[in-house]
Amino acid sequence: MPSLNVDHLTVRFAGLLALDDVTFTVRPGTVHALIGPNGAGKSTCFNVLSGVYRATSGSVRFGEHELTGMSPHSIAGLGVARIFQNLALPPHATVEDSLLLGRHRLTRTGFVAAGLRLPSAAHEERRHRARVREIAEFVGLEEYLGRPAGSLPYGQQKLAELARALCMEPRLLLLDEPVAGMTADERRRVAAVIAGVRDSLGISIVLVEHDMGVVMRLADTVTVLDFGRLIADGAPADVQNDPDVVRAYLGEEATP
């Protein structure tokens, strides 16, 4: 897996400086948390990484590829998958068919062959559905594959979105508040799956999350933003006790 290198990234919207000369590196096969108070610039950074926003200056490199200026479709084609905070599953499609959408970029059969149900198309579909079932089992959704996605409880729908992203066979996974709105049990379950994605599949993960318990349990490295500036970057325990981080979150000095 290649590393993700964010180098002197700056984003301006008219007179607003959303990101100010931000630099950090996501090491291969690690969970890298991007945290900060509301308005810190986390979503802006995610939007640049996934191609939704263009950087004003600076560089984002994923291995040998320069991502700044690339379209979201092209970035996804490099193996970068993103999960948004809001649910985006087709509610009436089955979980299996919803996950199959994640295989789209890996599909080689043409439109005509698929429409005519040629043997090559049928073989490829069987192969993709087999992989979908493997990934569903990995995240614990195998028993729900035949159910409409919209009928699942909220926490399981979030897991289905994670599974759909994994169906892309990503090398880098961008997770935007993956446990937001969940119960404690749901948060633990999703956190365990995310840890498994890193430990078993070796996929690099960039995580934006407000639940500091989840961040401190999962993250190998934490980058902290405040008003678009990087104020801390390092191991979770070191960042948690950094006076600038405590001040940003609580408005006070760290306890000696």
Starting at the earlier edge strand, list the strands of the sheet with 16-26. Answer: 16-26, 4-13, 57-62, 65-66
pLDDT by residue (tens digit) across 168-178?
999 999 999 99
Question: Residue type at 161?
Answer: E
Flag the least confident range among 68-72, 86-90, 235-239: 86-90
Burial class (CB in 10 A: 0-12, 13-18, 19+), 50: buried
Grade residue 238 by pLDDT with cuts at 50, 70 and 90: very high
Task: Reply yes or no on whether the pLDDT at 253 is more than 80.
Answer: no
pLDDT by residue (tens digit) across 135-153?
999 999 999 999 999 999 9
All structural domains of the chain with their residue ranges: 1-79+170-251, 89-169
Look at residues 48, 49, 59 and name the one whose alpha carbon lies nearest to residue 79. Answer: 49
Q: Are 151 and 115 in contact (CB under 8 A)?
A: no
Rounded to whole angstroms, the Cα distance separating 106 from 167 reads: 9
Bridge-based pairing state of the strands 204-208 and 172-176: parallel
pLDDT at residue 255, rounded to an integer: 43
Residues in Cβ contact with 169 at an 8 Å cutoff, skipping those fewer than 6 apart: 79, 106
Rounded to whole angstroms, the Cα distance separating 23 from 32 reads: 13
Enter the pTM of the model.
0.87
The sign of the CA dihedral 162, 163, 167, 169 is positive
Question: Residue type at 28?
Answer: P
Backbone angles phi, psi at 101, to 5 degrees: -60, -30
Using CA atoms in the order 39, 194, 125, 120, what is the torsion angle rounded to 10 degrees?
A: 90
Q: In what helix (H) or strand (E) does residue 216 lie, and over which residues does it extend?
A: helix 212-218
Question: Residue type at 138?
Answer: F
DSSP 31-49: EEEEE-STTSSHHHHHHHH
Grade residue 88 by pLDDT with cuts at 50, 70 and 90: confident
Burial class (CB in 10 A: 0-12, 13-18, 19+), 237: exposed
* One CATH from 3.50.90.10, 3.40.50.300, 3.20.170.30, 3.30.300.30 for 1-79+170-251: 3.40.50.300
